[in-house]
Amino acid sequence: MSAGFALYRALQLPSQCAVCRSWPSQRLCQHCRATFAAAKTRCPRCALVLTGGSAEPRCPQCLHSALPLAACWAAVDYAYPWSELLARYKFAQETGLGGLLVDLLLHTPGVGPALADLQASDWLLPLPLSPQRLAERGYNQAWELCRLLHRRSRCRAGLSAGLLLRLRHTKAQSELPRDVRLTNVRGAFLVDPLSARQLQARQVMLVDDVMTTGATLAAAATALLEAGARSVSALVIARTPP
């Protein structure tokens, strides 16, 4: 039985751990949580893992030029087993995995207080898909995560899938070298002009499944800040390690 198929089978049974198939268990058993989802010290601006007991509070990249994010949290690294679970969630539409993924985020140090800090006038927004990609895929996984997160955390902030718009269907970021990624997404986002007033001096928390270089989140944050948001932070399930 292939690892992928074993994982698929495991996901059909809610009493099994989604990773190691032990049972009876929660969706993620204690052993797998400790092995694959242990909290790591991450850069507060881009969520990269900080290594070697670094005295610097930020990663080298952010010391040089930080993303336009006030803060950023990631639950796990984009690696086994999360890369496979996220692919199934995103492309095989196994939406039942959303609860497990949001649970990882809510277990991440700092995420609960950050959500509790949002006021009713602030916003929790998904990274939008372009209309073309939304039509192809049928749903936006970031919006599904956003709604679940909102419900489970009892966050007071407003939810909207239409305030921030994605204009262009850009090339997949993973296919491009780092320096090209920034220009690839520049100008890809727009705040709905009719909603811009609702952003003035508000805090925004963006939600996405995977963060690679941060170029896409940075482009979205720039559009929100230019439209009047006071600050933009981000929550992602997984962060690509360097």
Does 19 engage in binding with Zn ion (CB under 5 A)? Answer: yes
Binding track over 24-63 against Zn ion, x by CB under 5 A = -----x--x----------x-xx-x----------x--x-
Residues between 107 and 136 that touch Zn ion (CB under 5 A): none
Q: In whole angstroms, give the CA distance from residue 32 to residue 66.
A: 33
Does 17 engage in binding with Zn ion (CB under 5 A)? Answer: yes
CB atoms within 10 A of CB 61: 16
Backbone φ and ψ for 138, nearest 5 degrees, come out as 90, -20
Residue 159, strand partner residues: 124
Q: Which segment (20-28, 80-88, 190-198, 208-216) binds Zn ion by CB under 5 A?
A: 20-28
Please identify, using beta-carbon distances, which residue of 37 and 129 lies nearer to Zn ion: 37
State the minimum distance, in angstroms, from the CB of residue 22 to Zn ion. Answer: 5
The tokens for 23 are: 């049972």
Pairing of strands 123-126, 189-191: unpaired
State the minimum distance, in angstroms, from the CB of residue 3 to Zn ion. Answer: 14
Q: How far is CA 126 from CA 35, 60, 76, 96, 205, in A?
A: 29, 28, 19, 18, 8
Does 239 engage in binding with Zn ion (CB under 5 A)? Answer: no
Q: For the chain, give percent helix, strand, coil, nearest 5.
A: 40, 15, 45
Please identify, using beta-carbon distances, which residue of 46 and 223 lies nearer to Zn ion: 46
User: How many residues at the interface with Zn ion, by CB under 5 A?
Assistant: 11
Please identify, using beta-carbon distances, which residue of 48 and 235 lies nearer to Zn ion: 48
Applying CB under 5 A, the residues found at the interface with Zn ion are 17, 19-20, 29, 32, 43, 45-46, 48, 59, 62
